[in-house]
Amino acid sequence: MRAACLGTEATHFCVCQPVPPCKVGGKSKAAYPHNSPFVHVTRRQFVFLYSRRLASILICVLLGSALVPTVASAQSPTFSVEEARAIAKDAYTYGFSLVDHYRVQYTYFQDSSHPEFKAPWNSINNTARIYTPDDKAFPTPNADTPYSQLGADLRTEPLVLTLPAVEKGRYYSAQFVDAHTHNFAYAGSRTTGNNGGKFLLAGPHWKGKTPPGINAVFRSETDFAFVFYRTQLLGPADIENVKKVQAGYKVQTLSAFLGEPAPAAAPEVDFLKPLSAQQERTSLEFFNQLNFVLRFCPPHPSEQVLMGRFAKLGIGAGKQFDAQTLSPEIREAIAAGMADAWHEFDELSKRVVKGEVSTMSFLGSREFLKSNYLYRMRGTVSGLYGNDKEETIYPPFYLDSTGQKVDGANRYTLRFAPDQLPPVNAFWSLTMYDLSTRLLVANPLNRYLINSPMLPDLKRDADGGITLHVQHDSPGKDKETNWLPAPKGPFYVAGRLYWPKPAALNGTWTAPKLQRAE
């Protein structure tokens, strides 16, 4: 005989009944050895234990559950290999943009020893030059608009940004990007005009009132944000004018703007050293870095269910993802899930190259992208910090007119018929990139693009159209003004239409095709 007991704070009841052996862990053993303590259950549970059989089952369950871990471990995970693979795939797709953005932000604003370091947090860096093949921090940089960058730490208080007034014929913009890589606001030519102004940039926890003298408030849903300024360069001799515009970009804390004492500073952050772009593709440390970034990203209501699913793998804000605590089978499943994400990415890329999916689909706000994290990942890989389609569209040139991938081993022409130049309110450009690196291509002319400010120097066809020569070797001195140099191997040309007109947005205007030259 063994005893099952009902206990409360005031009373203690015991029921004696025979208890048969039960199996735990594959071995048959008595439910209680002679020297075991009583099993305590509640008064409500006691009512249901009127049956000898039910009491036996409960005892077996209680004893068995004590031997099963409640969290994933190397010996006994709480999920299957298949589920681990599926969760890893989705978490990787979701998190890629956050982790890759963190890599760039750490390089620009935290690692002062890095050759591409820009400035400390909450300080503006002005790059008074166009980008070159030596700039490798992020893919597909443009060579039209010298950049200025601001890494904003909004945990302590908001920042006040000043944009200067700029002459009407010059395009400029400030693009506001959160840690998810969502574009959440714009200031500048298209949205607020060329008259300049003061704009308050606040984090997710700020609850203050808009002070006088502020043109608009832009709120980031994450604690850290990135402001990417673009200032149009009208030609090589225009660089000094660009510097004057950049000098007018200012930033100060809200307390400094108001002339008030600064609030207590937010705690110091122990930043993780980021993975390299190559390591991000396969390292399981990726998920630990994602957890770190998520600490500064208050959960969005639309992602609560998703985060609950990710938590099964130890993925989430404040969690510690330690692959070594998982079994080899689960680790292999997670790695396979990452590979699955890249396979799905590659399938999407094939559709982009074929023109089945528009490049306008991958960049924008949370409201625009919704929960399409694969599209967001594609936007990050192909053009991190690309603009909303209303600000810029990016018609790509991956294929020639016969549907073959373009390669520097061949020669091509690109012809704009009369009155068929890209329809824009600002300007357009065509920039050459190496297909594998997505970086600018070194060439004898140091020419990385052809754009609309160059139109006065381009040679016209007899009917007034323009034919560009896209190839690795010079087409001859008489044609070099219209030459866009290509690498020796595979490449692609990125079109950019800044502040596009409706004809470009609605498809009335379409880009011409690259024609292979004999």
Cα dihedral 96, 97, 101, 102 sign:
negative
Q: Predicted confidence band at 518 (pLDDT cuts at 50, 70, 90)?
A: confident
Positions of CATH 2.60.120.1600 in the chain: 395-517
pLDDT for res 78: 77
At how many degrees (to 10) do helices 81-109 and 328-353 cross? 70
Residue-wise pLDDT tens digits, 114-156: 999 999 999 999 999 989 999 998 899 999 999 999 999 999 9
Give percent of the chain with pLDDT exceeding 90. 83
pLDDT for res 186: 99
Q: Report H helices in 13-126.
A: 43-48, 52-65, 81-109
Spatial contact of 235 and 453, defined as CB atoms under 8 Å apart: yes
Asked whether residue 95 carries a pLDDT value surpassing 70, the answer given is yes
pLDDT for res 79: 82
pLDDT for res 208: 95
Average pLDDT on 296-303 reads 97
Asked whether residue 211 carries a pLDDT value surpassing 80, the answer given is yes
Q: Predicted confidence band at 77 (pLDDT cuts at 50, 70, 90)?
A: low
Report angle CA 64, 68, 74 to the nearest 5 degrees. 155
Positions of CATH 2.60.40.1610 in the chain: 111-258
CATH architecture designation of domain 111-258: Sandwich (2.60)
Asked whether residue 459 carries a pLDDT value surpassing 50, the answer given is yes
Terminal alpha carbon distance of the chain: 97
pLDDT for res 65: 38
Q: Give the span between the Cα atoms of 495 and 396, in whole angstroms.
A: 6
- In this structure, of 23-32, 79-88, 406-415, the range with the lowest mean pLDDT score is 23-32
pLDDT for res 351: 96
pLDDT for res 59: 37
Spatial contact of 454 and 428, defined as CB atoms under 8 Å apart: no
Average pLDDT on 189-210 reads 98
- In this structure, of 51-55, 124-128, 409-413, 427-431, the range with the lowest mean pLDDT score is 51-55
pLDDT for res 70: 33
Asked whether residue 13 carries a pLDDT value surpassing 90, the answer given is no
Q: Rg of the chain's alpha carbons, rounded to an integer?
A: 30
Give percent of the chain with pLDDT exceeding 70. 85
The pTM of this model reads 0.83
CATH class of domain segment(s) 395-517: mainly beta
**3-state SS string for 183-198:** EEEEEECCCCCCCCEE
Average pLDDT on 481-506 reads 98
pLDDT for res 138: 86
pLDDT for res 236: 85
**Any idea what DSSP says for residue 371?**
T
239 contacts: CB under 8 Å, gap ≥ 6 = 128, 129, 146, 233
Average pLDDT on 178-186 reads 99
Asked whether residue 213 carries a pLDDT value surpassing 70, the answer given is yes
Q: Predicted confidence band at 69 (pLDDT cuts at 50, 70, 90)?
A: very low
Average pLDDT on 283-311 reads 97
pLDDT for res 117: 98
pLDDT for res 62: 38
Residue-wise pLDDT tens digits, 157-172: 999 999 999 999 999 9
Q: Give the span between the Cα atoms of 126 and 136, in whole angstroms.
A: 17
Q: Predicted confidence band at 312 (pLDDT cuts at 50, 70, 90)?
A: very high
Average pLDDT on 489-507 reads 97
pLDDT for res 306: 97
Asked whether residue 98 carries a pLDDT value surpassing 60, the answer given is yes
Asked whether residue 18 carries a pLDDT value surpassing 80, the answer given is no
Residue-wise pLDDT tens digits, 35-46: 433 344 444 443
Q: Predicted confidence band at 55 (pLDDT cuts at 50, 70, 90)?
A: very low
Q: Predicted confidence band at 477 (pLDDT cuts at 50, 70, 90)?
A: very high
Average pLDDT on 267-290 reads 98
What's the length of the chain?
Answer: 518
For 399, the token pair is 């294929």
Q: Give the span between the Cα atoms of 429 and 142, in whole angstroms.
A: 9
Asked whether residue 31 carries a pLDDT value surpassing 60, the answer given is no
45 contacts: CB under 8 Å, gap ≥ 6 = 6, 58
Spatial contact of 46 and 54, defined as CB atoms under 8 Å apart: no
Asked whether residue 47 carries a pLDDT value surpassing 70, the answer given is no
